[in-house]
Amino acid sequence: MDIAYTCTSCGRAIVTDEVVYRCPDCTSTTGEAAHGFQRGNLSVELKTARRFALHKPVDPLAFLPIPVKHAGGYPVGSTPLIAPHRLREKTGYHNLFLKLDSLNPSGSLKDRASLLVAEQAKAHAVDTVTLASTGNAGASMACAGAAYGLRVVLFVPGSAPRAKLLQSLMYGAAVVPIQGTYDDAFGLSIEYTRAFGGINRNTGFNPFTVEGKKTVSIEMYNQLGCRVPDVVYVPVGDGVIISGVCKGFADLVKTGLAVRMPVVVAVQAVGSNAIARSWKEHREVVLNRTSTIADSLSVASPACGGMALEWLKRTKGRAVEVSDGEISTAQSELGREAGAFVEPSSAAAWAGFLKDRSNVDPSASVAVLLTGTGFKDTGAAEKLVSLPEPCAADLASAERLLEQRYR
């Protein structure tokens, strides 16, 4: 199947039935993501959706570059956009929404990209998908692989949260923990694909990962009565989710369905802030090391940093940094006051809104993207709460425990 690509850097158009990762014109000869900033990444040209009528919900899958034929076995998307009443009251933002993308099949927004990559593998008759991950993309691709019958080879830093690795193994993936960082795993997985074939799903390296993630924006547009929100907060590591989010809104504008882009705010952890610093310092920043409790945001050399910065400019957005303390507070608040149990990376988006809201009119419609569930990082939760020792099974003991612990 021929697929049309346009290079987001030099604009070269390519139509090919081969799997394409980098632009042949402007990528380096090695094409490794280790260069940090995405110079030659390709985005798939949108060729659909002009046929849609205005002000009617649209099918997000129709915006994807290839038809999705097997989605029934891997039900991605259609996640709730909730109106968190208590947080609305507390903050005074009465058009505040939380997009619960943590409710995707494997527990994260990454499923949107994995769905498209699984379809890509089927379209190219390939049976192996290889990737590097901080945990969620791997679990997500493993889940898709199980549904689609694909072999998934997953390179992860040994420090990735255990539950995400166990989850990947349960889905049948070949998990290869390495003594190194996510950036090391990224390079190794590309080397593996070169040597052994198959498709590489590395986030930001395979252009389908950006394309797949854009369905979240088209869903939000539908859920808001065919309107784009005024401001969107997105947690950022490699910069792929935010690029996909923006591409989704741009596709809506391009097709004439929306008249404007929302302001998009990138939220990074202070200890992993390559994109936020690049934004503020107007130069490419690559970090020597990262340190944050938001492990999914822990990226020294973002695969899609250049693209993310371009989108911030195009949406008149900005970058915000939040500390680990702010992330933890936000994680507790989302759990206790919205019933949203999310992992620290997602909580960063909420912390980003709290920090940045002085720049946002209280009447604005604000969407905060909650990208990953808290269930697979209970280690992070254990830093915030602890279970009491069991008490004797009588009322007096229960009352005593309640009095001592929860007064």
Ligand X SMILES: Cc1ncc(COP(=O)(O)O)c(C=O)c1O
Region from 43-51, 129-137, 151-159, 281-289 binding ligand X, contact rule CB under 6 A: 129-137
* CA 394 vs CA 34, 49, 390, 391, 400: distances in Å: 60, 63, 11, 8, 10
In the complex, minimum distance from the CB of residue 250 to ligand X, in angstroms, rounded to a whole number? 17
Contacts of residue 294, defined as CB under 8 A and 6 or more positions apart, other chains included, come to 235, 269, 272, 324, 327, 343, 344, 345, 347, 348
Answer for the pair 192, 129: CB distance below 8 angstroms, yes or no: no
Nearer to ligand X, 119 or 238 (CB): 238
Nearer to ligand X, 168 or 346 (CB): 346
> Interaction with ligand X in 220-279: which residues (CB under 6 A)?
235-242
Q: Indicate whether 345 belongs to the interface with ligand X (CB under 6 A).
A: yes
- Quote the radius of gyration of the chain (alpha carbons, Å): 21
In the complex, minimum distance from the CB of residue 5 to ligand X, in angstroms, rounded to a whole number? 20
* CA 361 vs CA 58, 307, 364: distances in Å: 29, 27, 5
Answer for the pair 203, 371: CB distance below 8 angstroms, yes or no: no
Nearer to ligand X, 223 or 373 (CB): 373
Among 8, 9, 27, 134, binds ligand X (CB under 6 A): 134
Among 173, 346, 355, 368, binds ligand X (CB under 6 A): 346
Q: Checking DSSP bridges between strand 96-100 and strand 128-132, what pairing results, if any? A: unpaired
Pattern 295-314, ligand X, x by CB under 6 A = -xx-----------------
Answer for the pair 234, 346: CB distance below 8 angstroms, yes or no: no
d(CA 341, CA 348): 13
**Closest-approach residue to ligand X (CB):** 372
Classify the C-alpha dihedral 363-235-44-173 as positive or negative.
negative
Helix (H, G, I), strand (E, B) or coil at 300: coil
In the complex, minimum distance from the CB of residue 17 to ligand X, in angstroms, rounded to a whole number? 27
Region from 10-18, 133-141, 151-159, 319-327 binding ligand X, contact rule CB under 6 A: 133-141
In the complex, minimum distance from the CB of residue 8 to ligand X, in angstroms, rounded to a whole number? 15
Q: Indicate whether 321 belongs to the interface with ligand X (CB under 6 A).
A: no
Q: Checking DSSP bridges between strand 318-322 and strand 263-269, what pairing results, if any? A: parallel
In the complex, minimum distance from the CB of residue 38 to ligand X, in angstroms, rounded to a whole number? 11
> In this structure, what DSSP letter does residue 63 have?
G
Nearer to ligand X, 317 or 372 (CB): 372
Helix (H) or strand (E) holding 174: strand 174-178
> Interaction with ligand X in 61-120: which residues (CB under 6 A)?
108, 110
Among 136, 223, 255, 328, binds ligand X (CB under 6 A): 136
Q: Indicate whether 206 belongs to the interface with ligand X (CB under 6 A).
A: no
In the complex, minimum distance from the CB of residue 402 to ligand X, in angstroms, rounded to a whole number? 34
> Of 151, 179, 25, 96, which is closest to residue 369 (Cα–Cα)?
96
Nearer to ligand X, 22 or 257 (CB): 22
In the complex, minimum distance from the CB of residue 71 to ligand X, in angstroms, rounded to a whole number? 21
In the complex, minimum distance from the CB of residue 217 to ligand X, in angstroms, rounded to a whole number? 14
DSSP letters for 198-238? SEE--BTTBHHHHHHHTHHHHHHHHHTTS---SEEEEE-SS
Nearer to ligand X, 119 or 343 (CB): 343
Nearer to ligand X, 214 or 257 (CB): 214
In the complex, minimum distance from the CB of residue 393 to ligand X, in angstroms, rounded to a whole number? 39
How many residues line the site for ligand X (CB under 6 A)? 21
Q: What are the structure tokens assigned to 359, written together?
A: 């720049």
Rounded to 10°, the helix 136-148/162-170 angle is 10
Binding-site ranges for ligand X (CB under 6 A): 108, 110, 134, 136-137, 203, 235-242, 296-297, 343, 345-346, 371-372
